[in-house]
Amino acid sequence: MMYEINFHHPVPVYFIGIGGSSMSGLAELLHSRHFIVSGSDQNHSPVCERLEQMGISVFYSQEEAHISSKFAFVVYTAAIRQDNPEFAAAKKLGIPLLSRAEFLGQLMRQYKDAIGVAGTHGKTTTSSMLSMIFLEAGLDPTISLGAVLEPIGSSSRVGHSDHFIVESCEYTNSFLHFYPRHEIVLNIEAEHLDFFKDIEDIRKSFRLFMEKLEGGHLVIQGDIEELNILTGGLNASITTYGLEGGKKTYDYTAANITYDENDFGSYDLMRGNTCIAHISLHVVGAHNISNSVAAAAMADLLGVPVSAIISALHHFGGAKRRFEKKGVVNGVTVVDDYAHHPSEIHATLTAARHYPHRELWCVFQPHTYSRTKLLFDDFVRVLSLADKIVLADIYASREKDPGDISSRDLAEKLRSAGKDVYYFPSFEEIQKFLLSNCKHGDLLITMGAGDIVNIGEAILKN
């Protein structure tokens, strides 16, 4: 039986992997509730420094000695294996172990109006947009995101209302531990195929997530394949959304879409056949118009004033690592983006092509061997949207090198397709090459879910 947390009775708790974007936010949430929080991470980071400044103890190694019987329970990330020294020590001592998803699910049950934002892409941006709308409306939400939201300076926020906005990830079926009252589903595509068998397995997981609704709202992208089959018989009010010119008509639509010189979109937000607002964004691309319609639809359904929707979306500048402008060096604009799946890369590079630039450089770090191998041809296709491509080694994350796939393979395939592509085995070599070859007016995007962001930040120091 799972350990049940009493959130009104603060106790000592330990987080294995406390520096992760979601884990750090959850640690902050518990700290704000007067729990005695400590934890470990393998790397020093600004996130961990922030936690330490708050009074949370952080170890920069994972050792058995860090775990003692004083801890009431231990929270761990999906990346932690059972042979991890701290995990094994907690198990040996009989300390209850909760995955991040199990912990977050228990926390969601404390809120009457929890909103889960799901989808294989766009979760962080959409949940951030929705958070901004609720903040603008003065609804005082609690927030748990997968990246830092600049206006709150964190990936989490402790509110004092029944509203809880939660980015809800499908990997390892994490979101099936959640308890949302309402849900947004942005898309369902082939992703995390190191865990899911195939697209049908992913669709089954999303269906189980949607079945958790009990009378609330489901806002779902109207172009998802076989939508009626996917949503049939749900105990929820189903609302579709989409962009004008899509495959269908939708309950909420972005119509009369235009873009300015920076590729920032504007559109009329339609509820059925009625225009309820004119939305002007300060984030790039059609994908962000779609994300904003999803957030606006949920807010409107929950009675948030349209004025708050308009204002919040106008002032939203993006979440960290989502087409984040890092700076300019020698006339070269440096942007960082978390895109690591072909659909995300396509959306980002398509938007970037409309952003002012001379040549578009994509410095890409593939994320996990399994994803690179399974979606190899798709990666080749979407990376070809850049004028010049620089590849770093694959970021292993939770995996071991199988020896049958590498960034060299991607480079060779792209080169055979006539693309201007370069591969370097170290970040230092990449930085030196970029500083020598990028020209005034170029747009340089560091891209991936690993530590590729460090390259752009290092270049900006020159």
Q: Which amino acid is present at 326? A: K
DSSP 328: E
In a 3-state reduction of DSSP, which class is residue 62?
coil
337: nearest Cα among 285, 296, 414: 285
21 is written with which tokens? 């974007």
The residue written with tokens 């070859």 in the block is: 437
Pick the catalytic residue from 124, 239, 348, 446. 124
Q: Which amino acid is present at 289? A: I
Cβ neighbours of residue 94 closer than 8 Å, sequence gap 6 or more: none
Catalytic site includes residue 124: yes
Whether the Cβ atoms of residue 101 and residue 177 lie closer than 8 Å to each other: yes
Pick the catalytic residue from 77, 120, 123, 388. 123
- Residue 259 has phi, psi (to 5 degrees) of -130, 145
- Report the distance separating Cα 128 and Cα 394, nearest Å: 28
Catalytic site includes residue 368: no
- Report the distance separating Cα 127 and Cα 141, nearest Å: 12
From edge to edge, which strands make up the β-sheet containing 113-118? Answer: 154-157, 142-149, 163-167, 113-118, 182-185, 217-221, 237-243, 252-259, 264-271, 274-284
Pick the catalytic residue from 28, 136, 167, 324. 167
Catalytic site includes residue 125: no
134: nearest Cα among 322, 298, 317, 320: 298
250: nearest Cα among 303, 285, 290: 290
442 dihedral zone (left: phi>0; alpha: psi -120 to 50; beta): beta
The residue written with tokens 């294989």 in the block is: 120
- DSSP H stretches of helix in 99-248: 100-108, 123-136, 199-210, 227-231
Residues catalogued as catalytic: 123-124, 167
